């Protein structure tokens, strides 16, 4: 018996449907090939970062909490990639500002503290799997960028740290109203272990974006390096 010919339109619909069913199988099969694993992971992570950046809303605030919800200061984890205290000389410390700014130079902590002080009880989330709620105080990074005459159309800010850590933020995150140049925790000056005298506090980002022991800040259109962990394969955007 001669089979009846299939309607070409039905064949195309069937082909697309079957292809969609096969896509996860093909992807899993590709991951089984060792030489394809790293490129596939890098591509997937890059796509995830791109989507996260497009969905980021500058006016959307991270949750804030009542004082009763705070993790006790003594139980707030101390986390770093190298040392708990890189030995910053507080008396001679400055934040060196360079790049696309009108007022490049060295800024003392007292100058940063002339900006409006902001306090917020927000969640700190670590990529290792733990999270805590802390009380943080400092100046909005957006206020500081305006003070130094930063080009706010630049794409990034980068920071260098006393322990040789480095990190970057996209400009939208840098200008977010909850992104702080943080110099206080629990209404007290930062301790050395928590990043004194100055750190980033960014409740819309994962913990490793919140660099401690800041020494340098640059406003730039081009990233030479993204961040310590990102340059080892971690997410570049990692919004929460």
Of 10-24, 58-72, 122-136, 144-158, give the lowest mean pLDDT range: 10-24
Closest CA relative to residue 121, chosen from 173, 78, 66: 66
Q: Give the pLDDT score at 37.
A: 43
pLDDT per residue as tens digits for the range 181-239: 999 999 999 999 999 999 999 999 999 999 999 999 999 999 999 999 999 999 998 78
Q: Give the pLDDT score at 238.
A: 79
Distance CA 141, CA 179 (A): 6
* 99 φ/ψ sector (left φ>0, alpha ψ -120 to 50, else beta): left
Q: Is the pLDDT of residue 134 over 90?
A: yes
Question: Residues 161-184: what's their mean pLDDT?
Answer: 97
Q: Give the pLDDT score at 22.
A: 47
Write the CA distances from 128 to 79, 81, 233, integer angstroms.
10, 12, 15
Q: Give the pLDDT score at 7.
A: 53
Under DSSP, the state recorded for 59 is: T
Distance CA 125, CA 110 (A): 29
pLDDT per residue as tens digits for the range 63-105: 999 999 999 999 999 988 788 899 999 999 999 999 999 999 9
Distance CA 28, CA 116 (A): 52
72 vs 3 pLDDT, higher one: 72
Question: Residue 78's CB: how many other CB atoms inside 10 A?
Answer: 12
For the chain, what percent of residues have pLDDT higher than 70?
76
**End-to-end distance of the chain based on CA atoms, in angstroms?**
62
Question: Residues 26-46: what's their mean pLDDT?
Answer: 47
Q: Give the pLDDT score at 54.
A: 47
Question: Residue 81's CB: how many other CB atoms inside 10 A?
Answer: 13
User: Around 84, how many Cα atoms within 13 Å sit in the side-chain half-sphere?
Assistant: 5
Question: CB–CB of 101/157 below 8 Å?
Answer: no
3-state SS assignment for residue 91: helix
pLDDT per residue as tens digits for the range 4-13: 454 545 444 4
8 vs 169 pLDDT, higher one: 169
Closest CA relative to residue 227, chosen from 144, 170, 181, 179: 170
Spatial CB neighbours of 86, under 8 Å, sequence gap ≥ 6: 161, 162, 163, 213
Edge-first strand listing for the sheet containing 95-99: 105-107, 95-99, 214-220, 156-161, 166-170
């Amino acid at each position: 018996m001669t089979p009846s010919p299939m309607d070409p339109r039905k064949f195309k619909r069937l082909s697309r449907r079957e292809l969609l069913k096969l896509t996860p199988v093909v992807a899993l099969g590709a991951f089984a090939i060792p030489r394809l694993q790293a490129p596939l992971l890098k591509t997937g992570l890059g796509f995830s970062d791109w989507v996260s950046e497009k969905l980021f809303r500058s006016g959307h605030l991270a949750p804030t909490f009542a004082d009763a919800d705070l993790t006790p200061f003594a139980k707030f984890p101390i986390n770093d990639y190298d040392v708990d205290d890189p030995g910053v000389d507080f008396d001679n410390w400055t934040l060196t500002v360079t790049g696309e700014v009108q007022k490049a130079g060295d800024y003392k902590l007292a100058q940063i503290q002339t900006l409006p002080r902001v306090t917020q009880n927000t969640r700190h989330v670590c990529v290792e799997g733990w999270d805590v709620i802390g009380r943080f105080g400092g100046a909005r990074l957006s206020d500081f960028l305006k003070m130094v005459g930063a080009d706010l159309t630049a794409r990034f800010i980068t920071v260098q740290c006393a322990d040789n850590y480095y990190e970057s933020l996209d400009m939208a995150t840098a200008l977010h109203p909850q992104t702080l140049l943080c110099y206080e925790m629990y209404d007290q000056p930062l301790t050395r272990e928590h990043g004194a005298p100055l750190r980033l506090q960014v409740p819309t980002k994962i913990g490793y974006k919140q660099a401690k022991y800041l020494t340098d800040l640059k406003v730039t259109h081009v990233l030479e390096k993204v961040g310590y962990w990102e340059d080892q394969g971690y997410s570049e955007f990692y919004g929460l």
